[in-house]
Chains A and B, each alone.
Chain A
Amino acid sequence: QAVVTQEPSLTVSPGGTVTLTCGSSIGAVTSGHYPYWIQQKPGQAPRTLIYDINIRPSWTPARFSGSLLGGKAALTLSGAQPEDEADYYCFVLYSGGRPVFGGGTKLTVL
């Protein structure tokens, strides 16, 4: 069973840029894992932010972008806004459609 790792917490200044990463204990995260990024604000249900590495749904601001970086999936926020303060989870899909979630990153905009 793979373990997916994320930074537990990160802080970014308003208007700044930050990159969150999502790595796997059993090897590189690749396009075949269809990495997803989910945003969850306090008291709210999770919402898909990015899927299939870098595809943004209509509701995701363009300041969020996804990529593969050094064997990990990465979520970059450029021009952070106060409303971007949230928990961010990644997950990757393994065989049989099993998702494995990362532990989440608590992003503070300060």
Chain B
Amino acid sequence: EMQLVESGGGLVKPGGSLRLSCAASGFTFANAWVRWVRQAPGKGLEWVGLIKSNVDGATTDYAAPVKDRFTISRDDSKNTLFLQMNNLKTEDTAVYYCATLFRSDPWGQGTLVIVSS
């Protein structure tokens, strides 16, 4: 059964950094394009960024609000996706989900990031 499990969320001060992880199982992670999506409290879903498979160059792409502050990477040997978040702002407060957004693939349960002084 395909599964994605996020971790690494927590409370961080504005300007701080945090690294999220997403552990994948039950499918060939190395072949997958994987995305981070976030949801601020009481708000809708917002795409954060994506990383393509290594076969497709492991290219990354980011939404404008996080570009140059967030970095997505992957370790296919450990079936794990990462989201390095730097210079965090209060508006980055959200639940962060990893997802392939491919056909009926499931989403992770999310990890909560709170940016507050």
Contact = CB atoms under 8 A, between A and B. Distances in A.
Nearest to B46: A101
B91 interface: no
Interface residues of B, number: 22
Contacts of B105: 48
A41 interface: no
A100 B109 CA distance: 20
A83 B99 CA distance: 24
A45 B104 contact: no
Most chain B CB neighbours (cut-off 10 Å) among A45, A52, A57, A103: A45
A99 B108 contact: no
Contact of A45 (B50, B97, B103): B97
B23 to A, nearest CB: 15
Contact of B97 (A36, A46, A55, A96): A46
B19 interface: no
B10 interface: no
Contacts of A89: 44-45
Contacts of A100: 47
B61 A1 contact: no
A70 interface: no
A18 interface: no
Contact of B45 (A55, A97, A104): A104
A65 B110 CA distance: 27
Interface of B: 33, 35, 37, 44-47, 50, 52, 61, 64, 97, 99, 101, 103-110
